[in-house]
Amino acid sequence: MKHGKKYTAALKSYDKIKLYGKIEAIELVKKLAFAKFDETVELSMNLNVKKSTTIRDTLVLPHQFKGEKKILVFAKGDKAEEARKAGAAFVGDDDLIEKVRSGWTDFDVAVATPDMMKDVGKLGPILGRRGLMPNPKTQTVTFEVTAAINELKKGRVEFRSDKTGVIHMPVGKVSMDVAQLKENIEAVISEVERKRPSDTKGDFVKTIALSSTMGPGVRLIRDSE
């Protein structure tokens, strides 16, 4: 892959083989960011897992960096009213399912009560490819509607390993304080390590890297400050 002059210059300005402590790595990533916009800081973790194993969960980061999410809730009756009171942007059942079926997806996350999933599941071709399908593993299929909405409003995010066993996850913005970014990074690493499969031999986390949206990756010492 061919990179631009700014990326190439950034790549030459530091030791890309060296392992850096968290604070040093964050400061370096901030320094290497060259875009005119506020770049996202991204964490990558290469895991020692079988090809058939997916590491997946959700967590609320200590420091938020995204705007408020537009939450859609598929629910009926009392649960629909509960969702409205909790502040969901869109609430409905068959009418909302039909609207989404027609191609409308102007929302950031979808929640559904279990009794709605028989019909919501038919929206898989639309919601699935956009990463919007409610899923019990991410606590977005639940009767605990208020709790789910409150967590999502606080900034609950999902992490999921890809087919190669790598987790890519945004953890903040370049403009954020080093201390805030460090706390977010440590929260993700801690939560991922908690998901270590019982049959894993050796190191579960093989490598960790940090980068900005446009910048090169900086390798991290996992247990550093």
pLDDT, one tens digit for every residue, the chain (225 residues): 556 787 777 778 788 889 999 999 999 999 988 889 999 999 999 999 998 899 988 898 999 887 778 999 999 999 999 999 999 999 999 999 999 999 999 998 999 999 999 999 999 999 988 889 999 988 899 999 999 999 898 888 889 999 999 999 999 999 999 999 999 999 999 999 999 999 888 999 999 999 999 988 999 987 766
The CATH architecture assigned to 71-153 reads 3-Layer(aba) Sandwich (3.40)
Long-range CB pairs of 137-142 (<8 Å, 24+ gap) are: 137/56, 137/57, 138/56, 138/57, 138/58, 139/58, 140/109, 140/110, 140/111, 140/112, 141/111, 141/112, 141/113, 141/114, 141/117, 142/111, 142/113, 142/114
pLDDT of residue 4: 74
pLDDT of residue 3: 67
pTM above 0.85, yes or no: no
The structural domains of the chain, with segments of one domain joined by +, span 15-65+157-220, 71-153
Partners of 210 in beta bridges: 43, 218
- Kindly report the number of other CB atoms within 10 A of residue 210's CB atom: 22
The CATH architecture assigned to 15-65+157-220 reads 2-Layer Sandwich (3.30)
pLDDT of residue 89: 95
pLDDT of residue 64: 87
